[in-house]
Amino acid sequence: MKKVEPLRNELKTLEAAATTNKEEAKNNEVTIAALEKSIAKYKEEYAVLISQAQAIKSDLATVEAKVARSVALIKSLSNERARWESSSETFKSQMSTIFGDCLLSAAFMAYAGYFDQHFRSRLFATWCQHLQSVGIHFRNDLALVEYLSNPDERLRWQANALPDDELCVENAIILRRFNRYPLIIDPSGQATEFLVNEYKSKKIMKTSFLDDAFRKTLESALRFGTPLLVQDVESYDSILNPVLNREVRRTGGRTLITIGDQDIDLSPTFRIFLSTRDPSVDFPADVCSRVTFVNFTVTRGSLQSQCLNAALKAERPDVDAKRSDLLKMQGEFQLKLRHLEKDLLQSLNEAKVLFIVLFF
């Protein structure tokens, strides 16, 4: 017993020490697990910081590129400043004369169509004198053809068989911008050919006051909005008066016009052109008050212009083609310039904050 007792005591001591060591080991394992968890968390945070740093670098590079482009844009805009200032002065000048310019244009379209080129020029000069006498400003260099049409339109008209002289181009402008429906004096048939080509895509219909199916054709054009060319207007039928007077009424969302004793639906796209080949017809006052006259009678001046154009096409087709190309390019460039100016102003408006920072 004496030999065993010390051994038992030593065993108890060792067991107690082992228990203590196990508890310490367990505590150490918990500590290690906590540290490993913290390390993993710090690694994730570090990765996030690295990602954010890369994003900041990328954003910085993007901003620097935008600033560089903006500075380059500002430098290029300085080259446009002179043109913009000139355009601004031109715009101010146009605004100061727009009232007189519009009066002259409206008077021309309402009253000049009946006359030949020489008398139109005299009328225009007389109107200018009257405006000057009452202090209404207008452009001294006002060219009605340029003011009321663009190169693209004139090229299209020429392609649609319109003679390329000033009288015919002025007449085409009236035919496009009329308020009262046109009555065309067309001895040579040039206007008829032009209208048929111009409205070919809209399936223009031709009829005559002498045609037995005139009323049926008229009603069809009114309903479906088809352009209508009525010939032989010297045999005018008063059944057309409500159309020329635009005597319409609206009922339940419908636009109606009365033809004879029948109500017809009127399409908003309906157009009618009256024509005669007889330049000596004396129209009654009630007809004259309802229409806009457009005189395509060939005069010495218009015939000379047409002959020159025909000679140019025959003798120097290359020069004629170059002229047409230049007119087309002029219209395209003007349109492109307007689009670019609009896009530029929109871009400047969207980037105004950046420009404020750059300027200040």
Which residue type occupies 246? Answer: R
Residue matched to tokens 């020029």: 121
Strand partners, 251: 254
Q: Is the dihedral of CA 88, 177, 190, 277 positive or negative?
A: negative
**What's the burial of 115, exposed, middle or buried (CB within 10 Å: 0-12/13-18/19+)?**
middle
Helix (H, G, I), strand (E, B) or coil at 236: coil
- Predicted local distance difference test score (pLDDT) of residue 29: 83
Per-domain residue ranges of the chain: 160-315
Strand partners, 258: 263
Distance in angstroms (rounded) separating the CA atoms of residues 76 and 79: 5
Query: Which fold would CATH assign to domain 160-315?
Result: Rossmann fold (3.40.50)
pLDDT tens, the chain, 360 aa long: 666 777 777 777 877 888 888 888 888 888 888 888 888 888 888 888 888 888 888 888 888 888 887 777 777 777 677 777 777 788 888 889 999 999 999 999 999 999 988 899 999 999 999 999 999 999 998 999 999 998 888 888 988 989 888 899 999 999 999 999 999 999 989 999 999 999 999 999 999 999 999 999 999 999 999 999 999 999 999 999 999 999 999 988 899 999 988 999 999 999 999 999 998 899 999 899 999 999 998 776 666 666 776 776 777 778 777 777 776 677 677 777 777 777 777 776 666 555 544 444
What are the strands of the beta sheet with 205-208, ordered from one edge? Answer: 205-208, 228-231, 272-276, 182-185, 292-295
Q: Are 229 and 218 in contact (CB under 8 A)?
A: no
- Predicted local distance difference test score (pLDDT) of residue 14: 79
Helix (H, G, I), strand (E, B) or coil at 206: strand
Distance in angstroms (rounded) separating the CA atoms of residues 125 and 120: 9
Phi and psi at residue 215, to the nearest 5°: -65, -40
- Predicted local distance difference test score (pLDDT) of residue 359: 46
Which residue type occupies 134? Answer: V
**What's the burial of 19, exposed, middle or buried (CB within 10 Å: 0-12/13-18/19+)?**
exposed
**What's the burial of 280, exposed, middle or buried (CB within 10 Å: 0-12/13-18/19+)?**
exposed
